[in-house]
Structure 1
């Protein structure tokens, strides 16, 4: 377990179990949980910067759900990392153990045409995200039905 990290906003050392920098007050989401659903009201009231693994959230952007995920390309190729759903976008960040550790993918929710639940593999499920140009991105996640439910709610809120 990491005992201390640096705040992406002010560079001060902070305790990752606290999720808040004691110097600047920024929220820093570093959860290692397989899946977590956030209480967005906690973030709406604070009016502070919010970071997800060093990625700064936009103005009025709040985390909804985060979890371990693989970006799936084929039966023999995928990249592991974390997936974050906010009220504005879906973000994937690869972890450092990949061949491509700097992989970053995002799509704004207003560019999403549809999301579908795919193949169920025991405890994981595939989620298919289609953009307006019919490009498909597939993720393997824990609790695919929960992800799909949260994605549907977020998409319905922006339309």
Structure 2
């Protein structure tokens, strides 16, 4: 676990276990667990802003679920990172250990046509996201069924 980080809003040093910046009050998503579903009641109206990595959440945007994931291209190619589902979009940020550490992918929920469960790999599962333009993006995640349930709830 990271011992200290800088707030993406004000650059003050904060302890990730505190969940929010003591200086400006921003909530910073730093959870490093395999999968985590957020209790929306924990997001106080006093939080000035909410960040995932250095990405600022939009107005009235709240995190629903985050976790480790791979964006899957083929049997020999994927990029690892973290996936975040909010009430407005699905976001993937690659971690620094990838060949392509600056990889960023997102889709607004209004552009998701459907999501379905893919191949089950014992511990992990694939979830497939189909957009309104006919594109398919696959992620390998832990708890694919829970991801799918949360995604469907957010979509409807």
TM-score above 0.5, yes or no: yes
Q: In angstroms, what is the RMSD of aligned CA positions?
A: 0.9
The count of aligned residue pairs is: 156
Is the 1:44–1:60 contact (alpha carbons within 8 Å) kept by the matching residues of 2? no
Q: Summarize deviations over 1:61-113 as a string: whole Å, max 9, x none.
A: 00000000000000000000000000000000000000000000000000000
Q: CA deviation at 1:47?
A: 4.6
146-155 or 33-42, which deviates more = 33-42
Q: In the alignment, which residue of structure 2 is the partner of 1:12?
A: 12
Structure 2 unaligned blocks of 5 or more: none
Matched, 1:140 2:134: no
Superposed counterparts of 1:30-49, under 5 Å = 30-43=30-43, 45-49=45-49
Task: Give the equivalent residue in structure 2 for 1:23.
Answer: 23
Mapped partners of 1:143, 1:45: distance in 2: 30
Q: Give the TM-score normalised by the residue count of structure 2.
A: 0.98
Runs of 4+ in 1 over 4 A off after TM superposition: none
Gaps of 5+ in 1: none
| CA positional deviation for 1:45 | 3.1
TM-score under structure 1 length normalisation? 0.96
